[in-house]
Amino acid sequence: MVIALDEPGRRPRICDELLREHPEVRIIAVAPEKNYIVYYWASFNIHSNNVEASEEGILHAMRNKLVTNGAN
């Protein structure tokens, strides 16, 4: 999708709405007055670890996730 970029350096609100609903979409925003183009896309990473098949293993995995999130 190609859209106009009214304010260079500021992501158009429509990008957030479109990419939230349709993460497969790719957007090229073009500033008409300046030689400025921005490419927007959505992505995410999925991570995994093997967990011991026990209550202790599950609790350990959940606690590690909480500690990791608290550090960021």
Per-residue pLDDT of the chain (72 residues; tens, 9 = 90+): 999 988 888 899 999 999 999 989 999 999 887 788 999 998 876 666 677 778 888 788 877 754 444 443
pTM: 0.59
The one-letter amino acid at 54: S
Residue with tokens 């350096």: 9
**Residues whose CB falls within 8 Å of the CB of residue 70, separated by 6 or more in sequence, listed in order:** none
Q: pLDDT at position 18, please?
A: 93
Q: pLDDT at position 62, please?
A: 78
Return the closest-CA partner of residue 39 out of 72, 11, 68, 70: 11
Q: pLDDT at position 69, please?
A: 45
